[in-house]
Amino acid sequence: MQATNNIPDDDIPREDEDAWPPEFSSKVGTSSSVPETVEDLWLDEPITPAEAGAFLKIPYSTLNKWRHNKTGPDYLKLGGRLVRYRRRDLITWLNSCTRTPSNDNGERQDD
């Protein structure tokens, strides 16, 4: 006699199906504001100014100065007081700071 279980066949993962469990599937979510992958969750997770400073390898007080001077990376303001950053915004800001060395004529130097 074969043992039966109470799990419906639809809930049993199949080898031929895409990522399991479905909440980690890159196909989950139709809105662009909904994270689609575990990487997106990590990039969009709100982190404290101290964590953002550690991520950028700068003192978090520098982030405070930049916010006061309306410069630096984008940040979130939660409840009117709490400041948080997203790693995605920090990376975007870092990429915007990239400069190409040039010679005295303003031309790019070739190696």
* Residues 38-84: tens digit of each pLDDT: 888 889 999 999 999 999 999 999 999 999 999 999 999 999 899 99
**69 domain-assigned:** yes
**64 domain-assigned:** yes
Domain span at residue 72? 44-96
**22 domain-assigned:** no
Query: Tokens 């975007």 label which residue?
Result: 92
pTM: 0.59
- The pLDDT score that the predictor gives to residue 41 is 87
**60 domain-assigned:** yes
Least Cα distance to 49 among 89, 95, 85 occurs for 85
Question: How far apart (Å, rounded) are the C-alpha atoms in residues 38 and 26?
Answer: 8
**106 domain-assigned:** no
**77 domain-assigned:** yes
Q: Which position has the higher pLDDT, 7 or 90?
A: 90
Domains in the chain, number: 1
**34 domain-assigned:** no
For residues 63 and 52, the answer to whether their CB atoms sit within 8 Å is yes
**109 domain-assigned:** no
Q: Which two tokens stand for residue 59?
A: 């003192």
